[in-house]
Amino acid sequence: MRLYKLVMPLAVSAASLFLSGHAMAETWKMALGDAAGGTQYELGTTFANLLEERTGGEVTVDLFPNGQLGSEQDTVNNASMGLLDLSVLAINNITPFSPTVGVMTLPYVIQSPEDAKTLTQGSIGEELTENTIRDAGVRILAWAYSGCRRLTNSARPVAEPADLDGLVIRVPKNEIMISAYQAWGVNPNPLAWSETFTALQQGVVDGQDNPYITIDAMKFYEVQNYVTDSCYVFSMEPLIISESKFQSLSPEMQEIVLEAGKEATQRSYDYLLNTEASIKEKLVEEHGMEIVAPANDEQQWIEMATQIWPQFYDSIGGKEKLDEALAALGRAPAPAE
């Protein structure tokens, strides 16, 4: 994969604010796991521009896409230790550090952008933000909404779980996602996101899953032919800030950072709604991918994967945490164990 550095342009407003009582400009580093062009980049650039504008250029942000600052999970460690200011990464790569966040990656809980918004922007999202500060030393400032994760592979159309037989599928290093594939009868290969394109290209793995926007931004169409139009996990990509960095800021600056995060979140939601359909079309029309509908409205996939929910009740804080999320989405509680 080509590695490069993108530096956000300075946007110095006339009404410069010297928020920390001194006029020293600061540059913060933001890691992005994805290449430029997708939802992570959209969220990162929007946040960076808002921050620069609202601090009158006192704070600027350098963006490092494509995993240049380490794997997504490395960036959580680095931010936690105060070695990195900001990172945008997939929610599934935070779960290993703060297991209660796993409620967002249980298969078939979140099924639409509206569901994702409800869970991230309500009291459940607030509680998970508190938990990540406590468990991982990072604070979620904003959310990129990337869409449903779709299964891609280089070998053949996959419409039902049995079609996966013999395929090696890459999954994130996330116990919930590993178990979902095991429920479908596959022994998946857990690999860091930063190693995924190369593994697909070299045939070390045959497939992976990620949203249409990510498949496009990462140019997976160069090494994958088939996409199953599945929705087993909805991908959300939080922007995190090192909590020690956040606590070192003046109260006014903290407010600006939080407000910029909220606004960037809203814009990310709009970006998903405005772009996902055309990107899906482009993957077919321009890049020749074949889109396969899951058999029987995905029923078999759903029945097999949701069997794993009880395995994760302890790590997410109890069955009641899942039931709370389902209730917020207007759905019935999970079946009793």
Q: Is 108 helix (H, G, I), strand (E, B) or coil?
A: coil
* Residue 126 C-beta: closest distance to ligand MLT, Å: 23
Which CB, 76 or 164, lies closer to ligand MLT? 76
**Residue numbers 221-250 binding ligand MLT by CB under 6 A:** 235, 237
Sort 114 into a burial class: Cβ within 10 Å, 0-12 / 13-18 / 19+. Answer: exposed
Site stretch for ligand MLT (CB under 6 A), options 84-92, 126-134, 283-291, 328-336:
84-92
Site stretch for ligand MLT (CB under 6 A), options 88-96, 133-141, 296-304, 326-334:
88-96
Tell whether residue 93 is a contact of ligand MLT (CB under 6 A): yes
Binding residue (CB under 6 A) for ligand MLT from 19, 28, 30, 33: 33
Tell whether residue 164 is a contact of ligand MLT (CB under 6 A): no
The span from the CA of 61 to the CA of 28, in Å, is 5
Tell whether residue 193 is a contact of ligand MLT (CB under 6 A): yes
Of 97, 100, 99, 91, nearest to 324 by C-alpha is: 100
Tell whether residue 89 is a contact of ligand MLT (CB under 6 A): yes
Which CB, 32 or 59, lies closer to ligand MLT? 32
Question: What one-letter code names the amino acid at 293?
Answer: A
Which CB, 8 or 35, lies closer to ligand MLT? 35
Binding residue (CB under 6 A) for ligand MLT from 132, 210, 228, 306: 210
DSSP string, 135-188: HHSEEEEEEEEEEE-EEEESSS---SGGGGTT--BEE-S-HHHHHHHHHTT---
Angle of helix 113-121 versus helix 123-136 axis, rounded to 10: 60
Query: Encoding tokens for residue 271?
Result: 């970006």
Task: Please report, for residues 8, 20, 170, 190, 326, the alpha-carbon distance to residue 173 in angstroms, rounded to integers and kept in the order given.
Answer: 31, 39, 9, 5, 25
Tell whether residue 172 is a contact of ligand MLT (CB under 6 A): yes
The site for ligand MLT (CB under 6 A) is made up of: 33-34, 72, 89-90, 92-93, 172, 193, 210, 214, 235, 237
